């Protein structure tokens, strides 16, 4: 009888003199013990109520522990409150969107998750004999103590777990969704972005595929085979991802992004990529003749990755191997196709909900005019590598030259920048007003060393031009760059300039 007498007596002790309310079937706190149910021969969980719940709060007898927990944070409190009352029910599947407390411990989480799914199989009666499990990856977030690839490693573990747990499991990717959260005056909810409806839609697609089968997707699109063709990688993805309309880019994009590639030195650099006939992906770098490995969207913040399956679900982030490597940190600003992005200027103190509002993440500039007078906006006529270009309109440049800074110091950019693998810095631009002008490259490293290049000439010509600054002339520590900016000098005073792309050329080291 589920020990209703104990519950009623506990309720009487707590609410003596209150109005009489039924204890069942209201949600209740329970203790999950290893025992035997009278209707089962094999050992199975037994649910014993410990206290009753009013409304949606979690009220629990405090268990003597060395660590002091709030009632809602008592070990197993939420599980006992929300899950255990349904033990013994017949279910078809479970939607799983885990918390973030174990983001720094993927190996531990994998072991614990397998045991949890084992317990789910014991607690419930799967309709078709095997539980269906739909798992959501963690969304982008700046976790204290994790580097640019810590969250990527955790999400990679979740993809691996879907092949290891005793269930028909599928994974949902969410890295493309906005990290924006509900703005409240008294706490920061950045850990809980409000883009939940789309996550639910994707979970429903995967759940249908796991249950119905046929040609429906049973997980986010993921690579199933890779082949070297000369200096290029050819990638095949899971069949449901290429059905119908096939592989596609994010709406409005024309260039496939998010891939990086490496040679024998194991330093990953941005790669070129192309979708072939909607069914395969070709990845390469013009200067790498012998590519050894590649990654896709492998970083905590990978919003520029834009490859989707036919069902509208983003392709699973992945890396080809686990060899020790230097992975490519996010540099979204370099393509000059957006002015703002969702960033963290500073880490939230101890991931506290009550951090100062000025430190909260949000939409912030990727490029900023830090000196002089001017205005930045996106062009409608695209000239370069992306869906837009940045146009600088300036005035009084003869008196106070404008300076445009790439915002590389935000915490979510994981400063300082390590550009030591590259042979220099290139700026591709367009001079629409046919006025001769010059540009200086401004750099600073973590030691406070400042570098200002000699002025480089911008020709009076309406065509793309590329200015190059070789590494041998950049007299700073290129492995610890904290500032990257350009100063425009125009004797005419007023004019405009279109920034198309900041590129970092790479040349393999000669043996």
pLDDT tens by residue, 332-342: 999 999 999 99
How far apart are the C-alpha atoms of 91 and 207, rounded to whole Å?
13
Q: Are residues 366 and 389 in the same domain?
A: yes
Answer yes or no: pTM beyond 0.75. yes
Is 7 a member of any domain? Answer: no
Looking at residue 473, what is its pLDDT? 93
Looking at residue 79, what is its pLDDT? 79
Handedness of CA 94, 95, 100, 105 (dihedral sign): positive
Is 511's pLDDT higher than 80? no
Over its C-alpha atoms, the chain yields an Rg (Å, rounded) of 28
Is 50's pLDDT higher than 50? no
Is 412 a member of any domain? Answer: yes
How far apart are the C-alpha atoms of 234 and 324, rounded to whole Å?
23
How far apart are the C-alpha atoms of 295 and 309, rounded to whole Å?
17
Higher pLDDT, 479 or 40: 479
How far apart are the C-alpha atoms of 108 and 154, rounded to whole Å?
10
Number of structural domains found in the chain: 3
Is 364's pLDDT higher than 90? yes
Q: Which secondary-structure segment (H or E) carries 9? A: helix 4-14
Domain termination site, one of 277, 297, 327: 327
What is the residue whose two structure tokens read 């425009």? Answer: 488
Looking at residue 395, what is its pLDDT? 96
Range in 118-122, 213-217, 303-307 the model is least confident about: 213-217
First and final CA of the chain: distance in angstroms? 77
Q: Are residues 288 and 380 in the same domain?
A: no
Residue 32's pLDDT band (boundaries 50, 70, 90)?
very low
How far apart are the C-alpha atoms of 364 and 120, rounded to whole Å?
43
Q: How far is CA 8 from the centre of its chain?
A: 47
Q: Are residues 208 and 95 in the same domain?
A: yes
Is 334 a member of any domain? Answer: no
Looking at residue 86, what is its pLDDT? 87
How many Cα atoms are found within 13 Å in the side-chain-facing hemisphere of 95?
12
With a CB cutoff of 8 Å and minimum separation 6, the contacts of 214 are none
Contacts 24+ apart (CB under 8 A), 207-211: 207/93, 207/95, 207/132, 207/134, 207/170, 209/170, 209/240, 210/93, 210/132, 210/134, 210/168, 210/169, 210/170, 211/92, 211/93, 211/128, 211/132
For 171, the domain range is 78-212
Instruction: CATH number of the domain at 468, please.
Output: 2.60.120.260
Looking at residue 244, what is its pLDDT? 80
Q: Are residues 100 and 136 in the same domain?
A: yes
Q: Are residues 91 and 172 in the same domain?
A: yes
Domain termination site, one of 212, 238, 266: 212
Is 186's pLDDT higher than 80? no
Tell me the three state secondary structure of residue 255. coil
Higher pLDDT, 196 or 82: 196
Dihedral angle computed from the Cα positions of residues 209, 213, 215 and 218, in that order, rounded to the nearest 10 degrees: 30
Q: Are residues 239 and 188 in the same domain?
A: no
Q: Are residues 174 and 235 in the same domain?
A: no
Q: Are residues 229 and 179 in the same domain?
A: no
How far apart are the C-alpha atoms of 279 and 231, rounded to whole Å?
20
With a CB cutoff of 8 Å and minimum separation 6, the contacts of 212 are none
Higher pLDDT, 359 or 274: 274
Is 14 a member of any domain? Answer: no
Q: Which secondary-structure segment (H or E) carries 248? A: strand 248-249
Q: Are residues 365 and 281 in the same domain?
A: no
Average pLDDT for residues 434-446, to the nearest whole number? 95
Is 9's pLDDT higher than 60? no
Q: Are residues 476 and 381 in the same domain?
A: yes
Fill in the DSSP letter of residue 214: T
Is 434's pLDDT higher than 90? no
Is 149 a member of any domain? Answer: yes
Average pLDDT taken over every residue of the chain: 85
What is the percent of the chain where pLDDT is above 70?
Answer: 83
Q: Are residues 402 and 441 in the same domain?
A: yes
Q: Are residues 321 and 347 in the same domain?
A: no
Is 83 a member of any domain? Answer: yes
Looking at residue 510, what is its pLDDT? 62
Looking at residue 49, what is its pLDDT? 40
pLDDT 10s digits, 118-177: 999 999 988 888 899 999 999 999 998 899 999 999 999 999 999 999 999 999 999 999
Is 43's pLDDT higher than 90? no
Looking at residue 11, what is its pLDDT? 40
pLDDT 10s digits, 405-424: 999 999 999 999 999 999 99
Looking at residue 137, what is its pLDDT? 96
Average pLDDT for residues 67-79, to the nearest whole number? 69
How far apart are the C-alpha atoms of 504 and 189, rounded to whole Å?
36
pLDDT 10s digits, 375-384: 999 997 777 6
User: Phi, psi at residue 74, to the nearest 5°?
Assistant: -55, 140
Domain termination site, one of 164, 182, 212: 212
Is 454 a member of any domain? Answer: yes
Other beta carbons within 10 Å of 27? 19
Looking at residue 147, what is its pLDDT? 95
Is 310 a member of any domain? Answer: yes
How far, CA to CA in Å, does 54 sit from each of 321, 335, 435? 51, 54, 74
Looking at residue 73, what is its pLDDT? 66
């Amino acid at each position: 009888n589920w020990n209703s007498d104990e519950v009623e007596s506990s309720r009487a002790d707590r609410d003596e003199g209150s109005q009489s309310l039924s204890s069942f079937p209201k949600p209740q706190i329970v203790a999950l013990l290893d025992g035997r149910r009278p209707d089962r021969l094999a050992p199975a969980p037994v649910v014993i109520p410990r206290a009753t719940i009013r409304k949606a709060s979690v009220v629990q007898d405090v268990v003597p522990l060395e660590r002091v927990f709030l009632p809602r944070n008592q070990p197993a409190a939420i599980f006992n409150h929300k899950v255990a009352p349904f033990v013994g029910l017949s279910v078809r599947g479970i939607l799983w969107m885990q918390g973030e407390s174990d983001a720094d411990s993927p190996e531990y989480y994998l072991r614990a998750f397998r045991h949890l799914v084992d317990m789910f199989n014991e607690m419930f009666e799967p309709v078709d004999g095997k539980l269906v499990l739909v798992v959501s990856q963690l969304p982008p977030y700046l976790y204290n103590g994790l580097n640019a690839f810590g969250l990527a490693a955790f999400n990679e573990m979740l993809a691996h777990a879907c092949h290891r747990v005793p269930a028909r499991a599928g994974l949902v990717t969410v890295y493309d969704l906005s990290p924006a959260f509900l703005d409240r005056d008294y706490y920061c909810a950045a850990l809980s972005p409000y883009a939940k409806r789309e996550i639910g839609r994707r979970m429903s697609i995967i759940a249908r595929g796991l249950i119905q089968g046929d040609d429906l997707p049973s997980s986010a699109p993921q690579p199933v085979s890779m082949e070297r063709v000369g200096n290029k990688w050819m990638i095949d993805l899971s069949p449901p991802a290429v059905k119908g309309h096939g592989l596609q880019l994010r709406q409005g994009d024309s260039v496939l992004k998010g891939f990086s590639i490496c040679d024998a030195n194991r330093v990953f650099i941005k790669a070129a990529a192309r979708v072939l006939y909607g069914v395969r992906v070709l990845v390469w770098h013009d200067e790498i003749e012998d590519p050894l490995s590649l990654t896709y969207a492998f970083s905590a913040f990978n919003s520029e990755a834009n490859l989707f399956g036919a069902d509208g679900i983003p392709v699973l982030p992945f890396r080809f191997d686990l060899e020790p490597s230097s992975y490519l940190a996010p540099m979204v600003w370099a393509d000059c196709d957006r002015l703002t992005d969702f960033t963290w200027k500073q880490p939230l103190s101890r991931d506290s909900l009550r951090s100062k509002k000025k430190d909260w993440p949000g939409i912030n500039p990727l490029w900023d005019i830090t000196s002089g007078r001017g205005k930045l906006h996106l062009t409608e006529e695209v000239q370069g590598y992306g869906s837009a270009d940045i146009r600088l309109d300036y005035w009084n440049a003869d008196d106070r030259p404008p300076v445009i800074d790439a915002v590389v110091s935000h915490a979510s950019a994981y400063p300082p920048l390590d550009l030591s693998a590259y042979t220099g810095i290139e700026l591709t631009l367009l001079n629409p007003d046919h006025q001769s002008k010059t540009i200086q490259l401004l750099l600073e490293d973590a030691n406070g060393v400042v570098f200002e290049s000699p002025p480089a000439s911008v020709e009076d010509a309406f065509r793309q031009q590329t200015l190059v600054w070789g590494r041998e002339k950049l007299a700073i520590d290129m492995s610890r760059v904290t500032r990257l900016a350009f100063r425009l000098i125009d004797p005419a005073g007023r004019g405009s300039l279109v920034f198309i792309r900041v590129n970092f050329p790479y040349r393999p080291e000669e043996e």
